[in-house]
Amino acid sequence: MVTKPRLAASKCGKEAPTEDSSRATKEDGKHMIVEDLMTRNPVSVRPEHDLAMAAQLMWDRDCGALPVTDESCRVIGMITDRDICMATWSQARAPNAIFVAEVMSRDIVQCRPEDTISRAESIMRANQIRRLPVAGREGELFGILSLADIARAAIVAPKLRPDPDISSDGLVATLASICTTPPPAVARALPRAAL
C-alpha cells in the first residue's frame, strides 16, 4: 500500500462581492438572494486528498458534501458522503486508498451569490441536488447553499421579511423533484455509482 502524506483542508471561501448582491436585494426588497442564506467560507477538498480526509471533514463540519477546488480556489467538482460510501464499497478499498479525484462529480452545477432563491431552487430541482456551490464569475468559491438553508429560511422568512420565493409549498416541490427516481431508461444509462 502506498503511503500518502496528510494534506490540509482547503479554505477557499471568499467574501462575495457586496455591490451587486446588495443592489439586487434592495431593488425590489421582496426577494432574498443566495448570498442572504448561503454558508460562507466553506471548507473544501482538493482532488489529491483521499476519501478519509474528505469523510473526516464532513464529520467535523456536520455536512454531507464538500466542494472540490483547484489551487486557485475554483470549484471543479463536488463530493458527497454517498460518493465516499459507494466508492469504498464498489472498489473494496479503504477510504485512505482512494483519491477524491477518482470519485468526485465533475459536472459542476452551481449558482451565483446574486441569484434569487427561486433560481437556486430551480437549479436544484432540474439537477436533483440538495446542495449548490456558490461561485463568482471566475468560478471562485464563495459559499454553499443547501436545501436545509432554504428550509430554515422558510420557517423564519414570513416573520422577518416576507419573500414570495421562500415558501413551504416551494420547498416541498423542490424536495419532491430532487427525490424523484429517474425513469428506468435513464436509470439504466447511468453508471452504477450515480444511482
Rounded Cα distance between 76 and 100, Å, is 11
| 3 state DSSP class of 28 | helix
Higher pLDDT, 163 or 69: 69
Cβ neighbours, 10 Å, residue 133: 26
How much is the average pLDDT of 126-152? 93
What average pLDDT does this structure show over 172-179?
Answer: 68
What single letter denotes the amino acid at residue 23?
A: R
pLDDT at 97: 98
Contacts of 12 (CB under 8 A, 6+ apart): 42, 44, 67, 69, 73, 140, 141
Mean pLDDT along residues 152-177: 64
- Spell out the long-range contacts of 22-25 with Cβ–Cβ below 8 A and sequence spacing 24 or more: 24/114, 24/116
Q: Is the pLDDT of residue 153 over 60?
A: yes
- pLDDT score recorded for residue 5: 41
> What's the pLDDT at 152?
85
pLDDT attached to residue 52: 98
Strand partners, 167: none
Distance, in Å, from the CA atom of 78 to the CA atom of 76, rounded to the nearest integer, reads 7
Average pLDDT (107-129) is 94
Per-residue pLDDT tens over the stretch 13-50 = 555 554 443 334 444 556 789 999 999 999 999 999 99
Architecture of the domain spanning 22-181: Roll (3.10)
Using an 8 Å Cβ cutoff, are 45 and 9 in contact? yes
Terminal CA-to-CA distance of the chain, rounded, Å?
30
Domain boundaries, the chain: 22-181
* Backbone φ, ψ for residue 87 (5° rounding): -65, -45
